[in-house]
């Protein structure tokens, strides 16, 4: 999302896990996390995307130099949003499975 004239700019950074768990000679990259920096004053606000898909404070970007320290890559807000949607979609079946049958009890037709 593009900030309007009153909102500070936001930069997104993807955290990559390169080649872990892949056979020798294969190169694969997968995003393992997202962080963002909002240009607030007097200091920027840094947040990481949590497992519950909410943004929370982090000191991660203060410890690493985004764009220079591997494996961090700046990405667009649109690309960040696509990753979030993809992660939500991939987690939905697992969340439903964890909830078990109690989450959706069978309907007793006699009670309808």
CA distance 33 to 63: 15
Q: Are 45 and 38 in contact (CB under 8 A)?
A: yes
Under the banding of pLDDT at 50, 70 and 90, the label for residue 64 is confident
The pLDDT score that the predictor gives to residue 63 is: 83
Q: Above pLDDT 70, what percent of the chain? A: 62
When pLDDT is averaged across residues 102-108 and rounded to a whole number, the result is 49
Asked whether residue 108 carries a pLDDT value surpassing 50, the answer given is: no
CA distance 71 to 29: 10
pLDDT tens figures, 10-50 = 999 988 776 555 555 555 567 788 999 999 999 999 999 99
CA distance 62 to 72: 13
Under the banding of pLDDT at 50, 70 and 90, the label for residue 106 is very low
């Amino acid at each position: 999302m593009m900030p309007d004239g009153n909102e500070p700019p936001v930069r997104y950074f993807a955290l990559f896990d390169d080649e872990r768990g892949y056979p020798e000679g294969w190169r694969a990259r997968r995003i393992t996390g997202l962080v963002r920096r909002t240009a607030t004053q007097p200091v920027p606000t840094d947040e990481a995307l949590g497992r519950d898909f909410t943004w929370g404070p982090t000191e991660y970007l203060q410890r690493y130099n985004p764009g220079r320290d591997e494996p961090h890559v700046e990405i667009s807000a649109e690309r960040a949003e696509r990753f979030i949607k993809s992660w939500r979609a991939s987690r939905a079946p697992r969340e439903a499975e964890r909830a078990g049958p109690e989450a959706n009890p069978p309907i007793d037709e006699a009670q309808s």
